[in-house]
Amino acid sequence: MLDLPTVLLADELLDKAFGRAAKATIAKGPDRATRQKNLAATRVQIAGHTLESSLRAYVKGFPSLDRLPPFYRELVDILVDSGKLKKHLGAVDWASGTCADLTRSAVRRIGKEAARHSLRLRKEAFGRLASVVGQIAGDLEGLVAARTALRRLPVVDPDIPTIVVAGYPNVGKSAFVRAASSGRPKIADYPFTTKRVSIGHFERGARRYQVLDTPGLLDRPMEARNRIERQAVNALAHLADVVLFILDPTGTAGYPLEDQLRLLDSVRATFPDTPVVVVATKADLAGEETPYPQMSSVTGDGVQVALDLALAAVTSRAPASGPR
């Protein structure tokens, strides 16, 4: 999970800045007029610095999108739209610099003007600072939404062999990941329960492996796929050392086996260099034999066999044999 800064909305940020400034009640100086000017300048400095440093921290706290690995770069684009995120960060960066410039200018002006003008100048400076923050209110809202989405990104280790579990919605992918690894994806008896990529781990001997649970895919063109499905395709494209494709021949998933097999063909055609292991799930419900290795994530039967097949394919880096 990414460590991202907490982003305040515009009103919250202004309350923070002006609240800190209001706490300054004493200023040094040889006479009352000087102290009055110094207090006004101090309050402007505190408010301006709070805004500048907070906004700058937001920008620096988000990852550099151009430096992210392909999987994360594409996932960020799927979840929050990279173009919009860059726009939000650019606007916030502009506001940070503008607040710094306004603060320096206001402090200089307070120092030059007569003490009787210091209160008015301080109020004017606060108004200008508030106006700048108001101009990026929508961008701050965008960063809040982006932070919520990006904090859910799985932490994937590129040096660990990766099994990506794929298939139609509701065929038992999440149940398999829970049965086979440390992953704890949500399980429910309805399609598209899994809305994002999640990860689990297991060990064989001294070797550690990671298993990715992916949202369900439907057999349709890429341009017709929604954000949830595109996350699965992204994981297949960038992370899979082997694809464990799960079929549900029982009909309980709500999708005909013929549709699932067409999706299987599509995955094989789209990723020809990635081994694909095919297993049939819900063996405890199956009424007849299938030509595929069977397993049940409920009883645990066949789960280790499925893992063995996937690990063999990872080791050989050759497509696993099987029907179709």
> Going along 39-191, which residue ranges are E strands?
162-166
Q: Which CATH superfamily is domain 162-316 in?
A: P-loop containing nucleotide triphosphate hydrolases (3.40.50.300)
Give the model confidence (pLDDT) of 113-156 as tens digits: 998 999 999 999 999 999 999 999 999 999 999 998 888 777 78
CB 131 within 8 A of CB 14: no
Report the b/e string of 190-227 with b at 16+ CB within 10 A: ebebbebbbbbebeeeeeebbbbbbbbbbbeeeeebee
> Which run of H or of E encompasses 208?
strand 207-213
pLDDT digits (tens, 9 = 90+) for 197-232: 888 888 888 888 999 888 888 878 888 888 888 888
Q: Residue 320 carries which DSSP code? A: P
Q: Is 41 helix (H, G, I), strand (E, B) or coil?
A: helix
Distance, CA of 62 to chain centre: 11
Query: What angle in degrees, to the nearest 10, is found between the helix axes of 118-135 and 137-150?
Result: 50
Grouped pLDDT means (10 residues each) for the chain, 324 residues: 85 98 89 91 97 97 85 86 93 98 97 93 97 98 92 81 91 86 52 63 87 85 83 88 92 87 93 94 68 84 90 70 44
CATH number 1.10.1060.10 is the correct assignment for the domain at 10-150: no
**pTM of structure:** 0.75
Q: Residue ranges of the domains in the chain? A: 10-150, 162-316
